[in-house]
Chains A and B, each alone.
Chain A
Amino acid sequence: MTTMDLTKLDLVYQRPKALVDIYTHYCPGCTHGVAHRLVAEVIDEMGLRERSIGVASVGCAVFAYNYFDFDFVQSPHGRAPAMATGIKRVRPECIVFTYQGDGDMISIGTGEIVHAAARGENITVIFINNANYGMTGGQMAPTTLPGMKTTSSPKGRDVEAAGYPIRASEMLATLDGAGYIARCSLHNPKNIRIAKKAIRMAFETQLRGLGFSMVELLSTCPTNWHLTPFEATRWLEEKMIPYYPLGDYKIHPALVENKV
Chain B
Amino acid sequence: MSRELWEGNEAFAEAAVRAGVQAYFGYPITPQTEVLEYMSWRMPELGRVFLQAESELGAINMIYGAACAGVRAMSSTSSPGTSLMMEGLSYIAGTEVPMMLIDVVRGGPGLGNIAPSQGDYNQIVHGGGHGDYHPIVLAPASIQEAVDLIYQFFDIIEKYRAIGIVMVDGSLGQMREPAEMPTMREVRTEIPDFAVSGAKGREPRILTSIYLDPVEEEKTNLRLMQRWQEIQKNEVRYKEYFMDDARFAIVGYGSAGRVALSAVRAARAEGIPVGLIRPISVSPFPVQVLQSAAQQLDSMLVVEMNSGHMLEDVLLAIQGKIPVEFYGRMGGMMPFPDEIFDEIKRLVKGPISLEGHPRDRWLARIQTVVNG
Binding site for B on A (CB under 8 A): 49-53, 55-56, 62-63, 65-66, 68-76, 79, 82-91, 93-94, 111-112, 114-115
**Contact status B208-A94, CB under 8 Å:** no
Which chain A residues border B66 with CB–CB below 8 Å? Answer: 86-87, 89-90
A sample of 16 cross-chain residue pairs with beta-carbon separation below 8 angstroms, ordered by A number, consists of: A52-B198, A66-B206, A72-B207, A72-B208, A73-B196, A73-B206, A74-B95, A79-B64, A79-B88, A82-B64, A83-B61, A86-B68, A89-B23, A89-B49, A90-B65, A115-B58
Binding site for A on B (CB under 8 A): 22-23, 25, 49, 51, 53-55, 57-59, 61-69, 71, 73, 87-88, 91, 95, 196-201, 204-210
**Contact status A82-B205, CB under 8 Å:** no
Which chain A residues border B69 with CB–CB below 8 Å? Answer: 53, 86-87, 90-91, 94
**Contact status B65-A84, CB under 8 Å:** yes
Complex CA distance for A87 and B67, rounded to whole angstroms: 8
Complex CA distance for A144 and B205, rounded to whole angstroms: 35
User: Is the contact region of chain B dominated by helix, strand, or loop, or is it mixed?
Assistant: mixed
Q: Return the contact of B208 from the options A52, A65, A111 (Cβ within 8 A).
A: A65
Task: Give the Cβ gap from A28 to chain B, nearest Cβ, in Å.
Answer: 21
Which chain A residues border B199 with CB–CB below 8 Å? Answer: 49-50, 52, 69-71
Complex CA distance for A84 and B95, rounded to whole angstroms: 16
Nearest residue in B to A108 (C-beta to C-beta)?
Answer: B57
**Contact status B61-A74, CB under 8 Å:** no
**Contact status B68-A73, CB under 8 Å:** yes
Task: Give the Cβ gap from B80 to chain A, nearest Cβ, in Å.
Answer: 16
**Contact status A62-B210, CB under 8 Å:** yes
| Known contacts A70-B204, A73-B207, A86 near B198 by CB under 8 Å | no
Complex CA distance for A49 and B68, rounded to whole angstroms: 18
Q: Return the contact of B197 from the options A69, A71, A74, A111 (Cβ within 8 A).
A: A71
| Known contacts A74-B210, A76-B91, A83 near B196 by CB under 8 Å | no
Complex CA distance for A66 and B211, rounded to whole angstroms: 13
| Known contacts A74-B210, A112-B54, A86 near B88 by CB under 8 Å | no
**Contact status A112-B61, CB under 8 Å:** yes
Complex CA distance for A63 and B57, rounded to whole angstroms: 23
Q: Return the contact of B65 from the options A50, A52, A56, A87 (Cβ within 8 A).
A: A87
**Contact status A115-B54, CB under 8 Å:** yes
**Contact status B53-A50, CB under 8 Å:** no
Q: Return the contact of B71 from the options A49, A50, A90 (Cβ within 8 A).
A: A90
Could you say which of A70, A89, A93 has the most chain B C-beta atoms within 10 Å of its C-beta? A89
**Contact status A82-B208, CB under 8 Å:** no
Q: Return the contact of A94 from the options B54, B58, B62, B197 (Cβ within 8 A).
A: B197
Which chain A residues border B25 with CB–CB below 8 Å? Answer: 86
Complex CA distance for A75 and B65, rounded to whole angstroms: 8
Task: Give the Cβ gap from B44 to chain A, nearest Cβ, in Å.
Answer: 12
| Known contacts A84-B65, A87-B68, A89-B23, A71 near B204 by CB under 8 Å | yes
Which chain B residues border A50 with CB–CB below 8 Å? Answer: 198-201
Task: Give the Cβ gap from A77 to chain B, nearest Cβ, in Å.
Answer: 9
Task: Give the Cβ gap from A110 to chain B, nearest Cβ, in Å.
Answer: 10
**Contact status B73-A90, CB under 8 Å:** yes
Task: Give the Cβ gap from B69 to chain A, nearest Cβ, in Å.
Answer: 5
Which chain B residues border A90 with CB–CB below 8 Å? Answer: 22-23, 49, 65-66, 69, 71, 73
Which chain A residues border B64 with CB–CB below 8 Å? Answer: 75-76, 79, 82-83, 86
**Contact status A82-B204, CB under 8 Å:** no
Task: Give the Cβ gap from A95 to chain B, nearest Cβ, in Å.
Answer: 8
Complex CA distance for A188 and B61, rounded to whole angstroms: 36
Which chain B residues border A68 with CB–CB below 8 Å? Answer: 204
**Contact status A86-B206, CB under 8 Å:** no
Given known contacts A66-B206, A72-B196, A88-B65, what 5 new A-B pairs fall within 8 Å (CB)? A49-B199, A51-B198, A68-B204, A79-B58, A82-B57
Nearest residue in B to A77 (C-beta to C-beta)?
Answer: B87
Which chain A residues border B206 with CB–CB below 8 Å? Answer: 65-66, 71-74
Task: Give the Cβ gap from B26 to chain A, nearest Cβ, in Å.
Answer: 12
Nearest residue in A to B25 (C-beta to C-beta)?
Answer: A86
Which chain B residues border A88 with CB–CB below 8 Å? Answer: 65
Which chain B residues border A52 with CB–CB below 8 Å? Answer: 198-199
Complex CA distance for A84 and B197, rounded to whole angstroms: 12
Task: Give the Cβ gap from A175 to chain B, nearest Cβ, in Å.
Answer: 13
Which chain B residues border A91 with CB–CB below 8 Å? Answer: 69, 197-198
Which chain B residues border A73 with CB–CB below 8 Å? Answer: 65, 68, 95, 196, 206-208
| Known contacts A50-B198, A79-B88, A91-B69, A74 near B208 by CB under 8 Å | yes
| Known contacts A70-B204, A90-B23, A112-B57, A85 near B65 by CB under 8 Å | yes
Task: Give the Cβ gap from A98 to chain B, nearest Cβ, in Å.
Answer: 10
Nearest residue in B to A94 (C-beta to C-beta)?
Answer: B198
Task: Give the Cβ gap from A74 to chain B, nearest Cβ, in Å.
Answer: 4
Nearest residue in A to B196 (C-beta to C-beta)?
Answer: A71
Complex CA distance for A51 and B69, rounded to whole angstroms: 12
Complex CA distance for A148 and B87, rounded to whole angstroms: 32
**Contact status B51-A89, CB under 8 Å:** yes
**Contact status B61-A76, CB under 8 Å:** yes
Which chain B residues border A115 with CB–CB below 8 Å? Answer: 53-54, 58
Complex CA distance for A51 and B209, rounded to whole angstroms: 23
Complex CA distance for A91 and B71, rounded to whole angstroms: 9
